[in-house]
Structure 1
Amino acid sequence: MNKIFNYKMIILCIFYLYLLFFIKNNFFSVDQKPVKSDVIIVLSGDLGRLEKAYDLYKSGYANYIILSNSTSKVFQDEQAALGIPDNGQFIDEPYATSTYTNAKYTLALMEKYHFRSAIVVSSNYHMDRVKLAYDRALGNKDVKLVYVASEGSSIDSFHFINRRMTLRIEEPIKYLGYLLGLYRWLDL
């Protein structure tokens, strides 16, 4: 009887964690108005991010786009599906394996190219963790970052919708891991 009660409490706690995360994501998530910047940083991992970054680029918000984890199949597929040309606006960052390394490596590229401001683009459900990772990686660097969320993609397919649902389920666990600082030892 006691074990059943413990399992029910664990399940209830997990349910409330997801419920709180859902409410926070839909009503209190980071999403700022874009401003003219030196560069747009787009993180790989989900469709719609590159599309949003390219729309910002075409609207004149920046002259360059840093593709973090540029070898990502998601980037390649989205660029091909949307017909986005590579006219020299892309700066590749091929080494990131997590949100924290996205932040660390793109900030290093900003320093290398003498960029002082950036628009950081990721999925709406991911932005809180992105901001947390960039805040921690930024240290005392004098860089202005604005966080703009992508709501999704104009590309419709069951595979992409299914992938997005999986990522949304994983995000609360990863966010908790970032709050606890586990990104230092794990690729979250």
Structure 2
Amino acid sequence: MSLQPDDKAPNASMSAPRGWLRAVVVAALAIVFVSAAIGFVGFLSQLRGAEMKPASPADGIVVLTGGSSRVSDAIELLAAGYGKRLLISGVHPTSAASDISRSLPDNQSLLSCCVDLDHSAINTRSNAAETRRWAHERGFKSLIVVTSNYHMPRAIVELSHAMPDMTLVPFAVVGDKWRDEPWWTNGATLRLLLSEYVKYVAAEVRVRLADAGLELAPEPDEPPTGSIAPPRPATAQTN
């Protein structure tokens, strides 16, 4: 009686490593998904659902452009004496103080005496760099930061990294859509939050690596005081 070769044994031995590898990949993806979900919940927990006035004044106020009512809320804080001066960071290159004054006719005196415009910043990181230059030139030690609630976590990460010696007081602007309906029922709001969460995580990773001495994307040198900033595209990045 002749013996037939057993073809099943090699196949079984080959399928075992493949099954183990597949299990590892699935487990790794599951860990990444759960970690991202937990991180997203943590990110959402930082977002304020209502606007709260600062407990006390600061030396200055900075507002990062890109969302509705940010500038008007910052002007109101300045008018109420919450800061000595206001920096509007990320103003479009073609916009001037007169353009802003037309939209805020009741505060023209403040705009002419106590408001500075930054036309150089094109994103949150450059907002932080320009704010640092502005605040240090004036000897400020504390700032009220005005931006949208969904943008505030990333703004604080960038500003804290740029100015570790500065006391930052968040003033989160809450949009009408946020008040009117739950964020999870609106597809556009959900996409905005997911996009902002990804940017926030990227900023956190870059800042932590920089603190450890690994600067993956070095910050460009600041122009000397009074120098003309280089031109930027017609449309600035929305924060």
Q: Within 2, Cα distance between the matches of 1:10 and 1:72?
A: 44
SS of the residue corresponding to residue 147 of structure 1 reads strand
Aligned to 1:17, which of 21, 28, 36? 36
SS of the residue corresponding to residue 148 of structure 1 reads strand
1:117 Cα deviation from its structure 2 partner: 1.7
For 1:81-96, what aligned pairs fall within 5 Å after superposition? 81=103, 83=105, 85-86=107-108, 87-88=111-112, 89-96=114-121
Pair member with larger Rg: 2
SS of the residue corresponding to residue 71 of structure 1 reads coil
For 1:56-95, what aligned pairs fall within 5 Å after superposition? 56-71=77-92, 80-81=102-103, 83=105, 85-86=107-108, 87-88=111-112, 89-95=114-120
Give the corresponding residue for 2:65. 44
1:15 Cα deviation from its structure 2 partner: 8.6
Which 5+ residue runs of structure 1 have no aligned equivalent? 155-160
Which structure has more relative contact order (CA 8 Å, sep 6+)? It is 1
1:137 Cα deviation from its structure 2 partner: 0.8
Give the corresponding residue for 1:98. 123
Give the corresponding residue for 1:119. 144
TM-score of the two chains, using structure 1 as the length reference: 0.71
Aligned to 1:181, which of 206, 220, 230? 206
Task: Count matched residues.
Answer: 178
- Specify whether residues 61 and 17 from structure 1 end up closer, same or farther in structure 2 by C-alpha distance, changes over 3 A only: same
- Decide whether the 8 Å contact of 1:36 with 1:62 is kept in 2: yes
Identity %: 23
TM-score of the two chains, using structure 2 as the length reference: 0.57
- Specify whether residues 93 and 153 from structure 1 end up closer, same or farther in structure 2 by C-alpha distance, changes over 3 A only: farther
Q: Within 1, Cα distance between the matches of 2:104 and 2:43?
A: 27
- Specify whether residues 162 and 78 from structure 1 end up closer, same or farther in structure 2 by C-alpha distance, changes over 3 A only: farther
Matched, 1:27 2:45: yes
1:83 Cα deviation from its structure 2 partner: 4.2
